[in-house]
């Protein structure tokens, strides 16, 4: 919305969110909207807030409350250090507020500030001089106009702290929100150093802090989220995410802060080591969940070669939602209302999807949810609904951050049947098996054959969990739809049928925020879910036709710039009920992209 006239008054309304905003009355336009070459800058004046810096329609700071943000992002890491800081790198922060607070520490010998946008520095220095408070005349201060992601690579082992005072992960700050940058930030630290980054409003920007947490915990020795509130940052609890080079840094942070704060003798207005910056328990729980969800896959042995009709299968999908205590989203997507041999039905649910297809006398069902999945209830209901005696089950974790061997141990293959009691329930009637672990080189070798090529099954299912993906790509419905409809079919040779269904839903469940895609294929389907929060995509491709496995996997990883993937190959439409043979032909492997 930006500047808006209301009667004879001028108001500014922030443009960060498409579904909500906040505004304030403007008493004077100090700098009208100006294109800096990197972003659009505006400086306004408000009787309540003082002067206000706005970039790309988003409030960056106000004179009234800038001290809250600047004191916390500067003093929290510096006082937490086990030794006094001497050299601090500030990336972004062109207004000068972070450097101002850092330079108040008497032990500081050098502050290097890297700001990509020179006009931010010049216009803030001219029109908001109270923010920088003379830092440009301090001999300890050095300004570099350039890309922080490039400059930081030259500072290996030189910094006690790296403070990233950037805008959100779009535009000029985009290069600062990825694993490669965090690796450079850790490399720039001395031992026991800290990197800290603003990561947005915990409720209204639910993908930012968890996304940074996920990337930073794979790079740094320990990670913490700092929570505080700022009046001019809409959404209540605001977050900073910090990573340490050294495992004891944050364990001693509180005692270090109290001791160092008292010794430094710095008078602060907003920061105090006595104020808890620990996130609310619910936010911490969301950060520490190490598994996106789980999936139960069933090859159900239909009695008397009974073939369910389309309406019956649609009813199964709706009632399965109830059985697992989920809510259906929209109507089922079907390749054919008749649901003949190999045809697909997919029902979105509030956290992912349920799918069905049939090969001969085998009904192939998937129930996938990012919430806790009552697996036994899903199996019990499906066996009872189809009047089936038994089913082969694959129960696998999805989007797990555990090691590959731990993910394999959590992946279970077994056979079940209904109990004969009135309450039903299920009995496991086989030994529990695990998938066969192979190297990706073996799975991608020219001589590797898919299950249907080995005569084990009528089709196969390729399951991919792809990590550290590019946020702008996985959050864009047009991009994910084009991959499913054009790029993946081109790489795999599988033929798309119709247009992809690509709704963007799940935002009420923070973990699932992002698009989902159903692309029907000749003799199969491609169902994928995109988690903006976890920077992850989860893909299930079922096909009767063989396809080049390496090209199929790498197509998705290249398109979404995923760094690694955990993959399963599952035989579907089984020719045998021998669990040991089924497990031997269920293959699992990890792929790392260079």
The confidence score (pLDDT) of residue 51 equals 98
Q: What is the 3-state secondary structure (H, E, C) of 527-556?
A: EEEEECCCCEEEEEEEECCCCCHHHHHHHH
pLDDT at 423 over 70: no
**Rg of the Cα atoms in the chain:** 27
Angle 386-390-391 from CA coordinates, rounded to 5°: 90
Domains 2-62 and 289-592 agree in fold: no
Distances 590 to 60, 265, 483, 490, 519 between C-alpha atoms, Å: 41, 52, 22, 23, 25
Longest dimension (CA), the chain: 87
What's the pLDDT tens digit per position in 327-358?
888 899 999 988 989 999 999 987 789 999 99
Enter the tokens of residue 391.
């089913």
Find out whether 297 and 396 touch, Cβ atoms under 8 Å. Answer: yes
Q: Residue 290: which pLDDT band, with cuts at 50, 70 and 90?
A: low
Task: Give the catalytic positions in this structure.
Answer: 165
Find out whether 152 and 116 touch, Cβ atoms under 8 Å. Answer: no
What's the pLDDT tens digit per position in 215-224?
787 789 999 9
Which residues on adjacent β-strands are paired with residue 565?
466, 591
The confidence score (pLDDT) of residue 207 equals 58
Find out whether 551 and 489 touch, Cβ atoms under 8 Å. Answer: no
Helices 66-80 and 253-264, packing angle to 10 deg: 110
Enter the tokens of residue 410.
């959590």
pLDDT at 174 over 80: no
State the Cα torsion 203-206-211-217 to the nearest 10°: 30
pLDDT at 516 over 50: yes
**Which of 112-116, 325-329, 394-398 is predicted with the least confidence, judged by mean pLDDT?**
325-329
Q: Looking at the whole model, is its pTM more than 0.85?
A: no
Sheet of 110-115, strand order = 141-145, 110-115, 87-92, 159-165, 189-201, 237-244, 222-229
The confidence score (pLDDT) of residue 155 equals 94
Nearest alpha-carbon partner for 125 in 152, 148, 162, 100:
100
Find out whether 552 and 540 touch, Cβ atoms under 8 Å. Answer: no
What's the pLDDT tens digit per position in 35-70?
999 999 999 999 999 999 999 999 999 999 999 999
What's the pLDDT tens digit per position in 425-470?
788 899 999 999 999 999 999 999 999 999 999 999 999 999 988 8
Residues 6+ positions from 182 with CB-CB distance below 8 Å: 195, 215, 216, 219, 220, 243
- More confident position, 415 or 420: 415
pLDDT at 202 over 90: no
The confidence score (pLDDT) of residue 166 equals 80
Element spanning 316, H or E: helix 310-323
In the chain, where the domains are located:
2-62, 66-287, 289-592
What's the pLDDT tens digit per position in 128-162?
999 999 999 999 999 999 998 899 999 999 999 99
Total length of the chain? 594
Other Cβ atoms within 10 Å of 4 Cβ, number = 12
pLDDT at 535 over 90: no
The confidence score (pLDDT) of residue 138 equals 97
CATH code for the structural domain at 289-592: 3.60.90.10
Q: pLDDT exceeding 70 applies to what percent of the chain?
A: 93
- More confident position, 483 or 472: 483
As a whole number, mean pLDDT of residues 359-380 equals 91
Q: What residue spans of 118-218 are helical by DSSP H?
A: 118-127, 129-132, 148-151, 179-188, 208-217
We find that the CATH architecture of domain 2-62 is Roll (2.30)
**What stretches of 371-456 adopt beta strand conformation (E)?**
390-400, 412-418, 426-428, 436-437
Q: Residue 172: which pLDDT band, with cuts at 50, 70 and 90?
A: very low
- More confident position, 424 or 327: 327
CATH code for the structural domain at 66-287: 3.40.50.150
d(CA 244, CA 228): 20
pLDDT at 409 over 50: yes
Enter the tokens of residue 407.
């993910």
Residues 6+ positions from 394 with CB-CB distance below 8 Å: 295, 296, 297, 411, 412, 413, 568, 570, 586
d(CA 571, CA 561): 28
């Amino acid at each position: 919305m930006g500047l808006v006239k209301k009667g004879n008054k001028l108001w500014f309304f922030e443009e960060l969110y498409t579904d909500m905003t906040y505004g304030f009355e403007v008493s004077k336009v100090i700098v009208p909207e100006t294109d800096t070459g990197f972003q659009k800058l505006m400086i306004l004046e408000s009787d309540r807030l003082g002067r206000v810096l706005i970039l790309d329609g988003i409030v960056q700071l106000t004179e009234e409350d800038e001290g809250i943000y600047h004191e916390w992002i500067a003093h929290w890491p510096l006082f937490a250090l086990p030794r006094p800081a001497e050299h601090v790198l500030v990336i972004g922060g062109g207004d000068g507020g972070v450097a101002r607070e850092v330079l108040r520490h008497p032990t500081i010998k050098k502050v290097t500030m890297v700001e990509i946008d020179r006009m931010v520095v010049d216009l803030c220095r001219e029109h908001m001089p109270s923010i920088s408070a003379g830092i440009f005349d301090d001999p300890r201060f050095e300004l570099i106009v350039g890309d922080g992601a490039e400059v930081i690579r030259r500072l290996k082992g030189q910094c006690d702290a790296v403070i990233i005072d950037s805008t959100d992960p779009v535009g000029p700050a985009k290069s600062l929100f990825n694993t490669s940058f965090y690796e450079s930030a850790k490399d720039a630290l001395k031992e026991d150093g800290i990197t800290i980054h603003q990561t947005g409003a915990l409720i209204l920007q639910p993908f930012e802090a968890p996304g940074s947490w996920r990337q930073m915990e794979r790079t740094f020795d320990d990670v913490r989220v700092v929570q505080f509130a700022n009046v001019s940052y809409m959404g209540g609890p605001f977050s900073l995410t910090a990573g340490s080079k050294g495992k004891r840094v944050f364990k001693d942070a509180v005692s270090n802060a109290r001791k160092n704060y008292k010794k430094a003798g710095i008078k602060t207005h907003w920061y105090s080591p006595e104020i808890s910056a620990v996130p609310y328990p619910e936010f911490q729980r969301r950060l520490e969940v190490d598994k996106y969800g789980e999936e139960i896959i069933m090859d159900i042995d239909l009695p008397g070669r009974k073939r369910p009709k389309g309406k019956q299968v649609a009813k199964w999908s709706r009632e399965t939602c109830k059985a697992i205590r989920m809510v259906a989203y929209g109507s089922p997507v079907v390749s054919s209302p008749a649901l003949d041999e190999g045809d697909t039905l997919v029902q979105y649910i509030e956290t992912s999807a349920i799918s069905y297809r049939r090969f001969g006398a085998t009904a192939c069902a998937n129930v996938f949810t990012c919430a806790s999945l009552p697996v036994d209830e899903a199996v019990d209901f499906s066996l009872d609904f189809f009047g089936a005696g038994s089913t082969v089950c694959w129960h696998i974790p999805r989007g797990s951050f555990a090691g590959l061997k731990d993910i394999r141990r959590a992946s279970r293959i077994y056979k079940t049947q209904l109990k004969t009691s009135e309450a039903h329930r299920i009995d496991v009637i086989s030994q529990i098996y695990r998938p066969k672990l192979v190297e990706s080189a073996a799975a991608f070798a020219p001589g590797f054959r898919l299950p249907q090529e080995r005569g084990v099954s009528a089709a196969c299912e390729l399951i991919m969990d792809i990590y550290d993906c590019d946020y702008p790509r996985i959050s864009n419905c047009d991009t994910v739809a084009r991959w499913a409809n054009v790029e993946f079919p081109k790489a795999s040779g599988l033929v798309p049928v119709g247009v992809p269904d690509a709704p963007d839903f799940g935002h009420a469940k923070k973990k699932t925020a992002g698009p989902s895609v159903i692309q029907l294929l000749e003799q199969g389907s491609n169902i994928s879910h995109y988690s903006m929060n976890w920077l992850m995509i989860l893909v299930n491709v079922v096909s009767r036709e063989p396809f080049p496995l390496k090209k199929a996997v790498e197509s998705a990883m290249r398109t979404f710039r995923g760094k690694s993937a955990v993959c399963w190959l599952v035989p579907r439409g089984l020719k045998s009920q021998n669990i040991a043979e089924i497990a031997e032909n269920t293959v699992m492997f990890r792929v790392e992209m260079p």
